Amino acid sequence: MDSIIRVQGGKPLQGDITVRGAKNFVPKAMVASLLGTTPSKLRNVPLIRDVDVVSGLLGLHGVQINFDQGAGVLDLDPSNVETAHVAEVQAMAGSSRIPILLCGPLLHRLGEAFIPDLGGCNIGGRPIDMHLNALRSFGAIVDKQEGGIHITAPQGLRGTKINLPYPSVGATEQTLLTAVMAEGITELTGAAIEPEIMDLINVLQKMGANLSVDTDRTIRIEGVKELKGFTHTALPDRIEAASWASAALATRGDIYVRGAHQPDMTTFLNTFRKVGGEFEIDDAGIRFFHPGGELQSIVLETNVHPGFMTDWQQPLVVALTQATGLSIVHETVYENRLGFTKALNQMGAQIQIYRECLGGTPCRFGQRNFYHSAVISGPTPLHGAEIWVPDLRGGFSYLIAALGAEGESIVHGIDVIARGYEHFLTKLGRLGANVERA
Ligand code: EPU
């Protein structure tokens, strides 16, 4: 069913809101709990759809889950893990990208895994070749079936050497979750080192895993026979925090984001300051605000950590429509994450997208016909429009645009935003936004 809101824009967002645990960490820690022989406790868990989806999937495999939503505490008991019915797993096809990470833990616990076809945002092809190559390298056999893949490991899983051709977050997590209980030593080179991955490493270490991270994107893991449960507080969601920061800038507002954590956001904060936004950091969070006057155009390239996250790009682009001059954005992580700019143009923005690698180093998409660079000419006043949410971050960007625009906007498909933004309509209300369900 289409979920629609009506937004009266042109009013600065002001007030304070709280961000809880990271969408791109919490579901992975939930998957890690499958590896334990005793229960795990995860704190700071947000009420977002990805948590529901993974709870459902773990539940189908016999994990007992109790979620105290108010307190944000999730208890996971994997004592009675069992093989799920394939039909029930198939029914979850298309709901998320997390199910692929169940491969290693299910192989260790049950000797087989059936993984439904993946979902997630349509921001590029999003292949899983690196995941499957890693699993095969551990000794797994992958069989493509109707509605998903069936994976077995008749000879068991053995430590291996894996070199990722690109520091993929998911393929790194796949390798970690499989290697911790594989027999012998695994050496992963070219690994992703995002803070969410480091927090997954924290969790695995608490469970009894042996792992070390070197300075050169190499992670070494020595498999153990048994892991126990963990108690852990999830790191805060730095994507949600940056999204609210961009909303403050684009609406000339002032938002205190409780829970925003400076060390994971250094690159964002630096960029935010270059554009002309200001912030104040204290122990509990970060206040982001528009200090008045003009915003400055910038040249920006998205990249893996510690670069500027691709997930920060879409919300910030809306703020860049209000900056004076030409901004250049080069998206190097996903080949198709600039399509959302079309609707911004409909609202009065002037954004041109290009196939060339603009403004920085050539990336792997340059020769391949993908529109992955943007030139944003500003400042352009935005006006209300009827728009359809294209994906999670693009959807939040449209909310920002509608809130910054003069007049009324109708935004369709806002349920997608609930996949990664907890209580976003309530938070908008707290910030004084004029938003109602249509
Ligand atoms: N890739 C491959 N083959 C693979 C895996 C990845 O070619 O087997 C490519 C992808 O197509 C992409 C690039 O490698 O071009 C990076 O993908 P990565 O594996 O790093 O991303 P992911 O694990 O699928 C996670 C987040 C994304 C976030 C990226 C990058 C989750 C559930 N998703 O995706 O989050 O953009 O890392 O940081 O953790 C979002 O939150 O809106 C979101 C899309």
pLDDT in tens, 239-280: 999 999 999 999 999 999 999 999 999 999 999 999 999 999
H/E segment holding residue 74: strand 73-77
pLDDT cut 90: percent of the chain above it: 89
Q: Which residue has the higher pLDDT, 148 or 376?
A: 376
d(CA 315, CA 311): 8
Q: What is the pLDDT of residue 88?
A: 82
The DSSP bridge partners found for residue 227 are 36
Residues sharing a CB contact under 8 Å with residue 362, sequence separation 6 or more, in sequence order: none
Q: Which atom of ligand 1 is nearest to the CA of 170?
A: 23
d(CA 343, CA 329): 17
Q: Which of 49, 101, 130, 168 to mutate to test the pocket of ligand 1 (most atoms within 8 A of CB)?
A: 168
* Contact assessment for residue 244 and residue 17, using Cβ atoms and an 8 Å cutoff: yes
Q: Which atom of ligand 1 is nearest to the CA of 167?
A: 20
Q: Ligand 1: distance of its center to the CA of 80 in Å?
A: 31
208: left (phi over 0), alpha (psi -120 to 50) or beta: left
* Residue bearing the CA closest to ligand 1, atom 19: 168
pLDDT digits (tens, 9 = 90+) for 159-216: 999 999 999 999 999 999 999 999 999 999 999 999 999 999 999 999 999 999 998 9
Coil, helix or strand at residue 227: strand
| In 282-391, alpha helices (H) | 310-320, 341-346
* Residue bearing the CA closest to ligand 1, atom 25: 169
- Among 135, 197, 134, 141, which Cα is nearest to 169's? 197
Q: What is the pLDDT of residue 126?
A: 86
Q: Which atom of ligand 1 is nearest to the CA of 131?
A: 8
> Is 103 marked active-site?
no
Q: Ligand 1: distance of its center to the CA of 160 in Å?
A: 23
Residue 96 banded pLDDT, cuts 50, 70, 90:
confident
Binding pocket residue ranges, ligand 1, CB within 6 Å: 23-24, 97, 121, 124-131, 166, 168-171, 192, 194, 239, 309-311, 333-334, 392-393, 420
Q: What is the pLDDT of residue 122?
A: 79
d(CA 44, CA 69): 10
**Exposed / middle / buried, residue 218 (Cβ in 10 Å: 0-12, 13-18, 19+):** middle
Q: What is the pLDDT of residue 91?
A: 79
Cut 0.95: pTM above it: yes
Q: What is the pLDDT of residue 59?
A: 95
Given a cut of 80, whether residue 236 has pLDDT beyond it is: yes
Q: What is the pLDDT of residue 1?
A: 57
DSSP state of 83: P
Q: Ligand 1: distance of its center to the CA of 169 in Å?
A: 6
